[in-house]
Structure 1
Amino acid sequence: MQRPLAGLTGRNFVTELTAGVTLLAIAIPLNIGYAQIAGLPPTAGLYALVVPTIVYALVVSSRQLVASPDAAAAALVASSIGGLAAAGSADYATLALAQAIICGVMFVLLAVFKLGFLANFLSKPILVGFVGGLALDIMVSQVAKMLGVKIDSGKEFTGKIADLVGGFTTLNGWAVLISVCSVAVLLLGRRFLRAVPWALIVLVVTTLMVVLTGLDQRGVDVLGEVPAGPPVLTWPLIDWSLWLALVPSAIALTLVTTAEGLLVSRSYSEKHGYPFRANRDLFAFGISNIAAGAQGSFAVGSSTSRTAAMDQAGSRTQFPALILAAGTLLLLLFGTALLADIPSPAIGAIVGVAIIPLLGVRDFIDLWRKDRFEFLIGATCFLTTLFVGSIAGILVAFVLALINLAKRASHPAIDVLESSGDPGESLLEDAPAGNVTAPGVIVIRLAAPLFFANGAVFSTAVKEAIRSAGTDSVHHLVVDMEAVTDVDVTGAESFTALKEWLASQSISLAYSRVRPKTLHRLTSLGLLDTEEVFSTNRAAISHLAPPSAEPTSSRKAGH
């Protein structure tokens, strides 16, 4: 079993320590902003950096993935709990704790039953659309902060836009100045000196401006008093009906984190050559979320941006996460007074710049160029998430994933093999008339399982191939079964109808290269018996080319 903090040695200790300080500078301002997006106090974002971070770092198999609340998770929390309680209330915070615990239990169940593959249904277009919709909704709230305009963050996207436009007459010039300068520093700094913690610098400088010039007396919102003290153990006491009401949003959070977290974890493990254990990573997410819910925080996910920052800083262990936890705890104990005068426009600028990549503009352009159908999937998920809601967005995402899967499964490659054993043109792409394998024989290969989505398609393609070659000139059909890994009942019924049609045309049927499990399946479904498959194969093979030119697709089944 991998030891905690695997990869940490005396040689890289200084590098890891420096990376930890960098992570501390990045995470604190972002987590304060994410807590505000979620409708929770700043301490909820800071508490997530203590116990949940320690637990995750000591258990996870990934040496680099950073676990923390992120913008998408914060938006999901706000959109799902906002309809159950008023943002900022005690009930709202309690529901956020319960939601994190439910997420943790789901992660643990995924790990125990090895169900992480379910996240594979969230393809790139779906993730781009879903996260992009959440990000744009967040962006409206952050722009309002940057302009000093008051909006109701609990409203839907259109309501927020209406509040923002209607509030232009009340924007604050000082807030706009702080925001413009902050965005300029963040964007230019990210472009030319990425290693510098620009977010922390922006917070320090703008806070000094507020303190020295009294901008808070001129209409600039500030963070306000942040309670001092470490996180304390707690447990949400709510009705069972509310626990059940939180389950759909918890499922959405769990699936999105699983898909993104495992993808990022796997990519860095492959890049740097250390082990990747998906189920252990899911278990780590589980216990860190339970810890978050039991000590005043909210749902914890994976942070792609912070993981990338740690990779660029040279970190190859989870040691920076422990530095982050220690530094945050010291801040909570002794330094919360320093946070009170942080201007909200600067926080809005930091969060806004951080979520620009989540809008997925480049990804959408790439999808448009590569595959219009997948672009439409992403766009549909984006619009549903934006205008209907996050839960509807995740449901539509799964429906679209199934539609996309069915669309591709219903159009498998179906080829007529030439005498060399190589496929000719696909039967689904207007193959030329007279396309046969050998005189009187057609060998057809189905490159997919035979099931309900493609059974009728395969039967139609076989009939078209025989008709195009001339029904009177075809006496034997050989089905190359090498790529057929399974047959379901509906597919078997379609194939039975095809056998009856072949018999009516006096065309014999044979199978070649049948996998042992598929052969058993064909027999159990009544599609053939052993004597039939051997006799029909011999009859078909006798009409093929001489042995020296025998197509590879016409071997006897079971040999």
Structure 2
Amino acid sequence: MQKPLVGLSRRNLLRELTAGVTLLAIAIPLNIGYAQIAGLPATAGLYALIVPTVIYALTVSSRQLVASPDAAAAALVASSLGGLAVAGSADYSTLALAQAILGGVMFLLLAFFKLGFLANFLSKPILVGFVGGLALDILISQIAKMLGVKIDSGGEFVDKVAGLVTGLPGLNWWSVAISVVAVAVLLLGKRFAGAVPWALVVMILATVVVLVWHLDEAGVAVLGEVPAGPPAITWPIIDWTMWLALIPSAMALTLVTTAEGLLVSRSYGEKNGYRTSPNRDLFAFGVGNIAAGASGSFTFGSSTSRTAAMDQAGSRTQLPSLVLAAGTLLLLLFGTALLADIPSPAIGAIVGVAILPLLGIREFRELWHADRFEFLIGAACFLVTLFVGSIPGILVAFVLALLNLAKRAANPAIDVLQATGEPGDSLLDGAAKGQVTAPGVIVVRLAAPLFFANGSVFSDAVKRAVRAADGEVRHVVVDMEAVTDIDVTGAESFEALLTWLEREGIDLSFSRVRPDAVRRLEQLDLLGDRARYVTNREAIAAIAGERPEDEE
């Protein structure tokens, strides 16, 4: 097993420590905002940066992946728990703990059974649409916070928009001013001095302004008192029916985190030349989320933006995450009084700017130009997530993924190939769709497994090739090099094709069959008297009209 903090040395120690300070400056304001999105107290976001972060950093295979609650996870928590308890209540917080523990157990099961591939069903269009829908829902809440308008942040998207519009006459101009300046600083600062932790700068300056001019008395909402002290070890006590009710949302959180986390982990490992282990990363997410649920936090996953920031800072170890944990603990022990007067409009601006890239505007534009069908998949997932809910959104995502898979599998590449007819040469040389490959012989190649989605498609393609051929067809040779498997439904379609070929007086042979496929053909009774397995040389001889010689 890989040792913790692999890659750390005396030469990069100072750089890693400096990156940790940068990560601390980025994470504190964002996690406070994400906790509010989730409907939880600020401490829930800060607690996630201590025990869960340490456990994750010491168990993950990636040297750079930063784990933390993010906007999408926070929105999922809020939307899934909003119907079970009142946001901000003790019952709501308890459910969030239980949800994190359930997700952790699911991560461990994925790691144990090596099922991380299930997340591959969440393709890019689906992730773009799903996360984009969550991001827009979050953005409405943050805009309301920036304008000083009170809305039900746990309500449906349409209700939030309606509440924002009807509340505009009562907006607070001081909140608007703070928000406008904060957004300008964040956007311009990122463009001209990206290495500066502008979120922390905005939070500090906005707090100073509120304190100096007593803007809280002018109607500007502030964070309020944050309890001091380290996280306490706890365990959610809820009825077993509530545990069952949390399973769908925990599953959704697990799948989204798995898809994004493993992708980011692998990409940075390949970029910087070190190996990662998907199953170990899943294990790290599992034990980390169980720790989150047992220490007063909520579900966390991978943070793409923070991982990118650490990569740009030159970090190549998990030491910055440990620095983050230590710094957050010190803040909770000695500095919570500094957090009480942070203005909510500033937090809204910080979170709003952070989630803008998650809307997927650029990605949707690329999908529109690259593949209209995949664009529609992403758009459908976006709309369902936004107007129906996150859990229906993830279910629709899987259905759309299966439809996309079936659509592509049902239309495999099927070629009628030109044979050389020269003994000793390869059987297949170039493509000539719809033509006889040699007098009386057609060679057909299926570039996919033969199964229920394409069995009839392949059968129809062979029949069309026979009917379109010039002259009488006596032999059909099926090139099986790319056929890795055959299911029962595919075999039944093949049986019907064999019967049709027999009626037409046409022989069928298989060429270049994989060993596993040979066994599968025998098991399905597709070899024998009705069809035979031939070598390349035998097929070439048949095409050339010669008697095959014995193989030496």
TM-score by length of 2: 0.96
What whole-Å deviation, never above 9, does each CA across 1:341-360 have from its counterpart, x for those lacking one?
A: 00000000000000001000
Q: Following superposition of structure 1 onto structure 2, how do residues 317-396 of structure 1 map, counting pairs within 5 Å? A: 317-396=317-396
2:549 is the counterpart of 1:542:
no
Distance of 2:362 and 2:137 partners within structure 1? 18
Give the equivalent residue in structure 2 for 1:187: 187
TM-superposed deviation, 1:480: 0.2
TM-superposed deviation, 1:8: 0.5
What whole-Å deviation, never above 9, does each CA across 1:67-91 have from its counterpart, x for those lacking one?
A: 0000000000000000000000000
TM-superposed deviation, 1:334: 0.3
Give the equivalent residue in structure 2 for 1:496: 495
Cα pair distance change 1:539/1:473, threshold 3 Å: farther
SS of equivalent to 1:227: coil
Give the equivalent residue in structure 2 for 1:232: 232
SS of equivalent to 1:464: helix
SS of equivalent to 2:315: coil
TM-superposed deviation, 1:438: 0.7
> Which of 429, 439, 443 is matched with 1:422 structurally?
429
TM-superposed deviation, 1:192: 1.1
SS of equivalent to 1:424: coil
What whole-Å deviation, never above 9, does each CA across 1:357-376 have from its counterpart, x for those lacking one?
A: 10000000000000000000
SS of equivalent to 1:542: helix
Give the equivalent residue in structure 1 for 2:304: 304
Give the equivalent residue in structure 2 for 1:461: 461
Cα pair distance change 1:555/1:195, threshold 3 Å: farther
Q: Following superposition of structure 1 onto structure 2, how do residues 192-341 of structure 1 map, counting pairs within 5 Å? A: 192-341=192-341
SS of equivalent to 1:527: coil
Give the equivalent residue in structure 2 for 1:512: 511
Question: Which residue identity is paired with 1:329?
Answer: L
Q: Following superposition of structure 1 onto structure 2, how do residues 396-435 of structure 1 map, counting pairs within 5 Å? A: 396-420=396-420, 421-424=428-431, 431-432=433-434, 435=435
SS of equivalent to 1:477: strand
TM-superposed deviation, 1:220: 0.3
SS of equivalent to 1:95: helix
Question: Which residue identity is paired with 1:525?
Answer: L
Distance of 2:239 and 2:270 partners within structure 1? 45
> How many residues were matched structurally?
545
Give the equivalent residue in structure 1 for 2:524: 525
Distance of 2:150 and 2:473 partners within structure 1? 77
Which stretch has the larger CA shift, 480-489 or 532-541?
532-541
Distance of 1:354 and 1:386 partners within structure 2? 19
Contact 1:512 1:555 in 2 (8 A): no
Question: Which residue identity is paired with 1:179?
Answer: S
Give the equivalent residue in structure 1 for 2:54: 54
Distance of 1:147 and 1:294 partners within structure 2? 36
Question: Which residue identity is paired with 1:21?
Answer: V
Distance of 2:236 and 2:293 partners within structure 1? 8
Cα pair distance change 1:467/1:347, threshold 3 Å: same
Contact 1:441 1:544 in 2 (8 A): yes
Distance of 2:268 and 2:514 partners within structure 1? 37
Distance of 1:66 and 1:409 partners within structure 2? 36
What whole-Å deviation, never above 9, does each CA across 1:414-436 have from its counterpart, x for those lacking one?
A: 001112423425xxxxx45xx11
Give the equivalent residue in structure 1 for 2:136: 136
TM-superposed deviation, 1:262: 0.2
Contact 1:24 1:324 in 2 (8 A): yes
Distance of 1:540 and 1:234 partners within structure 2? 71
Distance of 1:555 and 1:162 partners within structure 2? 82
Distance of 2:306 and 2:529 partners within structure 1? 60
Distance of 1:506 and 1:541 partners within structure 2? 20
TM-superposed deviation, 1:524: 1.0
TM-superposed deviation, 1:533: 1.7
TM-superposed deviation, 1:110: 0.4
What whole-Å deviation, never above 9, does each CA across 1:211-252 have from its counterpart, x for those lacking one?
A: 000000001000000000000000000000000000000000
SS of equivalent to 2:445: strand
Distance of 1:437 and 1:10 partners within structure 2? 68
TM-superposed deviation, 1:541: 3.6
Question: Which residue identity is paired with 1:270?
Answer: E
Question: Which residue identity is paired with 1:424?
Answer: A
Contact 2:511 2:535 in 1 (8 A): no
Contact 1:102 1:250 in 2 (8 A): yes
Question: Which residue identity is paired with 1:494?
Answer: S
Question: Which residue identity is paired with 1:230?
Answer: P
Cα pair distance change 1:484/1:149, threshold 3 Å: same
Structure 1: gaps of 5 or more residues: 426-430
Distance of 1:524 and 1:311 partners within structure 2? 53
Give the equivalent residue in structure 1 for 2:437: 437
Distance of 1:507 and 1:191 partners within structure 2? 70
SS of equivalent to 1:445: strand
* Identical-pair percentage: 73
Cα pair distance change 1:531/1:75, threshold 3 Å: closer
Distance of 2:504 and 2:349 partners within structure 1? 74
2:30 is the counterpart of 1:23:
no
Give the equivalent residue in structure 2 for 1:66: 66
Distance of 1:49 and 1:154 partners within structure 2? 24
What whole-Å deviation, never above 9, does each CA across 1:482-530 have from its counterpart, x for those lacking one?
A: 0001111100010001001101111111110011111111111111128
What whole-Å deviation, never above 9, does each CA across 1:122-170 have from its counterpart, x for those lacking one?
A: 0000000000000000000000000000001111000000000000000
Contact 1:47 1:296 in 2 (8 A): yes
Question: Which residue identity is paired with 2:488?
Answer: V
TM-superposed deviation, 1:204: 0.4
Contact 1:416 1:423 in 2 (8 A): no
Distance of 2:321 and 2:32 partners within structure 1? 17
Contact 2:116 2:279 in 1 (8 A): yes
Give the equivalent residue in structure 2 for 1:428: none
Which stretch has the larger CA shift, 127-136 or 533-542?
533-542
Contact 1:510 1:537 in 2 (8 A): no
Give the equivalent residue in structure 2 for 1:117: 117
Contact 1:252 1:391 in 2 (8 A): yes
Contact 1:459 1:495 in 2 (8 A): yes
Which stretch has the larger CA shift, 505-514 or 527-536?
527-536
2:169 is the counterpart of 1:169:
yes
Question: Which residue identity is paired with 1:285?
Answer: F
Aligned structure 1 segments of 4 or more residues deviating by more than 3 angstroms: 534-543
SS of equivalent to 2:543: coil
Question: Which residue identity is paired with 1:121?
Answer: F
Question: Which residue identity is paired with 2:261?
Answer: G
Contact 2:511 2:533 in 1 (8 A): no
Give the equivalent residue in structure 2 for 1:6: 6
Give the equivalent residue in structure 1 for 2:424: none
Cα pair distance change 1:540/1:309, threshold 3 Å: closer
Contact 1:441 1:478 in 2 (8 A): yes
What whole-Å deviation, never above 9, does each CA across 1:418-457 have from its counterpart, x for those lacking one?
A: 12423425xxxxx45xx11111100000000100000000
Give the equivalent residue in structure 2 for 1:148: 148
Question: Which residue identity is paired with 1:331?
Answer: L
Distance of 2:542 and 2:60 partners within structure 1? 61
RMSD of the TM alignment (CA)?
Answer: 1.9
Distance of 2:549 and 2:172 partners within structure 1? 80
Contact 1:140 1:161 in 2 (8 A): yes
